Amino acid sequence: MISDTAISDIFPALHQEVAGKRLVYLDSAATTQKPQCVIDAVTHYYEHDNANIHRGVHTLSQRATKSYENARAQIANLLCASRSEEVIFLRGATEAINMVAQAWARPRLCEGDEILITEMEHHSNIVPWQIVCEQTGACLKVAKVLDDGSLDMESFKSLLSEDTVLVSMAHVSNAIGTINPVKEMCSLAKKVGATTVIDGAQATGHMKVDFSDIDCDFYAISGHKMFGPTGIGCLIGKYDILQEMEPWQGGGDMILTVSFEETTWNKVPFKFEAGTPNIAGAVGLGAAAEFIHEVGYAEMTVREQELLLYGRNVLSSIEGVTLIGASKNNAGVVAFTVKNVHPHDVGTILDSYGVAIRTGNHCAEPLMKRFGLTATCRASLSIYNSTDDLDRLGTAIQEAIRMLG
């Protein structure tokens, strides 16, 4: 087990004070802090290997290409893809889901077809499907969430039918932390012949993800939520399905030949990576994957689950605090409200005590509406947090109540 001091030492941004107090960072669901190895990998690329990738014969281009493709292989290995070609580099999970919506769903959906999602989705797993429904005449169906924040599986099952062409689900809710039974959901979806998409943005920085075992068709990730840089992410897709899809953007690197009469496409995954990619971001994401591998998902999960239980106990003991969607299966998110105090005011006061949390609707307005709320406070955990951080959170909340409650 890594000690609190040892793990926090790896993350340089945590070595600072806010408002004269040691920073307590509890906003990892928005973005994780970056370990020194990721920062070093990006810096090394820019200082030593900065060049465009693929087709270059000079040394820097060869080194940059090797680092970029090594990162692809590291992601494939971490997430148990069957081959590195199943990993497509994009800007993040949002772009990955939009790519599936436009490159897979739009050409295949017809009027009367149905897309099934859940009530707990991030806007990035709602809006792309609304757009494609408007484009094709398909219909969007939504499975309900129970009072404890878990998915209503009976609602989910009841909405699956022969008209269901695609099912898209969050692996982990960004707003309340619920871990969905995605393997079971994909199995149920496949029984009606539906293609499956998983928004894995909130999962890969916290828990083991086995793409092959889950047996989904597409899995979307964001680098910055798994200790990597911003502006980089991936779509992992089954190779045979990717082979069947047409590109969704045109430009350099995604072509095999170009003439004014006809253009032919490059092979997978390159036909989906038009233009100069975020090379430094991919290199940093590869370093993040290696960091996670070295720490180990097992240790990460145990550590965060212990902190989650501790944090829930701390907040539950404070009069006026209500936990929201505190389901049994949770990936380290404590969502809560404070009686008679707006979440934004809570967040502002906590910041004055050096405690960083997220407040608002967390890009999950329908889920907030389901709980009769417009906003919550969200404390989200990672491996660099400690019980002392959660004690500081509790103390700062009590001060907010004293001042405004």
Integer angstrom CA distances of residue 267 from 88, 245, 391:
12, 11, 53
**CA 62 to chain CA centroid, nearest Å:** 31
Tell me the C-alpha distance between 276 and 254, whole Å.
Answer: 10
Give the active site residues.
Answer: 363
Tell me the C-alpha distance between 377 and 336, whole Å.
Answer: 5
**Amino acid, res. 143:** A
In what helix (H) or strand (E) does residue 145 lie, and over which residues does it extend? Answer: none
Whether the Cβ atoms of residue 40 and residue 17 lie closer than 8 Å to each other: no
Torsion sign (Cα): 207, 208, 214, 216: positive
**Short-list 324, 228, 340, CA closest to 283:** 228
Tell me the C-alpha distance between 14 and 8, whole Å.
Answer: 7
Please, which residues have CB within 8 angstroms of residue 361's CB and are 6 or more apart in sequence? 175, 368, 374, 375, 376
Rg of the chain over all Cα atoms, to the nearest angstrom: 22
Q: Which residue do the tokens 């909340």 mark?
A: 397
Whether the Cβ atoms of residue 190 and residue 196 lie closer than 8 Å to each other: yes
